[in-house]
Amino acid sequence: MSIQIKKIEQLGLLSKLVRKSQNIRQDDLGMMTDNSHVFIGQFENGKDTVEIGRVLKIMEELGIRLYADLPPELNENELKEKIALLLSTSKDK
């Protein structure tokens, strides 16, 4: 199922729904992702200053995949080459 996300509140609510469907408590998810239950609650309630890296870790743990739907006018091959280059140089750091 795909859902378009336009606000952090939507992503937080989606995360909460998935977490609850998996019978995972906030404090347990916090331990699984090296976050506090306070952070989990802030994210689920739509706090717009949550750290993206921590959010991505929560999404991964819950099995939620995030994708970027890029504009069609972008050259796909050129973009793939640039992304590969960025990824290879970031691993060196």
In tens, the pLDDT along 1-19 reads 888 999 999 999 999 999 9
- Domain coordinates in residue numbering, the chain: 1-93
Phi-psi region of 7 (alpha: psi -120 to 50; beta: other; left: phi over 0): beta
How does pLDDT run across 50-60, given as a tens digit for each residue? Answer: 999 999 999 99
Amino acid identity at 57: K
pTM comes to 0.80
Quickly name the fold that domain 1-93 has: 434 Repressor (Amino-terminal Domain) (1.10.260)
